[in-house]
Amino acid sequence: MRYIRPLSIEDAVGQLAGSAGTAAILAGGSDLLVRMKGGFVEPDLIVDIKLIAGLSDIRETADGFSIGAAVPCAVLGENAALKKAWPGVVEAAKLIGSKQVQGRCTITGNLCNASPAADSVPALVAAGARAVIAGPSGKRTIPVEAVPVGPGKTSLSKGEIIEAILLDKRSPRSGDAYLRFIPRTEMDIAVVSAGVNLTIDEHGVVTAARVALGAAAPTVLLVEEAAEALLGRKLDEAALERLAKVCAGACRPIDDKRGTIEFRRKVAGVLAKRAATTAYARAGGK
């Protein structure tokens, strides 16, 4: 096993592309090291990206925010501007693991681990976040929902690495929220979760919406019909009930010891309603 700490994204891409065996990227290591210790993976090459310039930074630009791939989740909550603009994304990141884990884990790692129950991913999908990918053929930018393609699997090709997560500049009168259900009070995997992002006009009518569900299918679901249920109206009880019904119907969950299909569908609708209500209030709706 080789362990390297490249100083540039180009070097990291070159090392990954040229590796003969299995390669893994180390940012926080909260997933990778656990899997290695459990004997599930044994990479021939580990590429530690924390020394690459810019990957541990949060940058605010005229277009929004760029969150480097090695930024720990705990740091997101310390950035006042990001927390104000995208509270739902920050809330989701702060639910990953314990306080100690949050000091190491990253939202990019959470995304690339490709767990259907990942906490940060539904919030990122609802926020319309994008992933900047560097690879042997250059750079490309894709929606975050296009990264996971199944449990533990991503769309990244050999040699590709996510460099940053992009969040747009907030429109006026906008808000987002993320909620999950877990059997315990903390440090558990979501049985089902929901992220909602809304923009309203001066009359409180929803003009834009995105709704995402986690742990409800092999990958996070972007439920466009749920967003359509909210558009063009205030967030009244009828709209919320329609939202819950659509979200419950969109689920493709499994039965396991942590929750039944029926339970997950029901809770998905409940969480979507609650997250939408919080997002609406944050947008200034009454």
Tokens 């070097």 appear where? 11
Quick one: pLDDT at residue 253? 85
Two structure tokens written together for 105: 């884990």
Quick one: pLDDT at residue 111? 96
Quick one: pLDDT at residue 187? 67
For 49-73, the pLDDT digits (tens) are: 999 999 999 999 999 999 999 999 9
Quick one: pLDDT at residue 99? 83
Quick one: pLDDT at residue 256? 83
Mean of pLDDT over the chain = 94
Angle at 189 between CA 264 and CA 104, to 5 degrees: 150
Quick one: pLDDT at residue 63? 95
Q: What is the pTM of this model?
A: 0.94
Q: Is the backbone of residue 70 left (phi > 0), alpha (psi -120 to 50) or beta? A: alpha
The answer to whether 167 and 65 have CB atoms below 8 angstroms apart is: yes
Q: What is the 3-state secondary structure (H, E, C) of the chain?
A: CEEECCCCHHHHHHHHHHCCCCEEEECCCCCHHHHHHCCCCCCCEEEECCCCCCCCCEEEECCEEEEECCCEHHHHCCCHHHHHHCHHHHHHHCCCCCHHHHCCCEHHHHHHCCCCCCCHHHHHHHCCCEEEEEECCEEEEEEHHHCEEECCEECCCCCCEEEEEEEECCCCCEEEEEEEECCCCCCCCCCEEEEEEEEECCCCCEEEEEEEEECCCCCCEECHHHHHHHCCCCCCHHHHHHHHHHHHHHCCCCCECCECHHHHHHHHHHHHHHHHHHHHHHCCCC
CA 64 to CA 223: how far, in whole Å?
Answer: 24
Residue whose C-alpha is closest to residue 178's, from 168, 187, 190, 167: 190
Quick one: pLDDT at residue 183? 79
* CA 178 distance to own-chain centroid: 10
Residues of the chain where predicted confidence (pLDDT) is lower than 50: none
Residue whose C-alpha is closest to residue 70's, from 86, 90, 48: 48
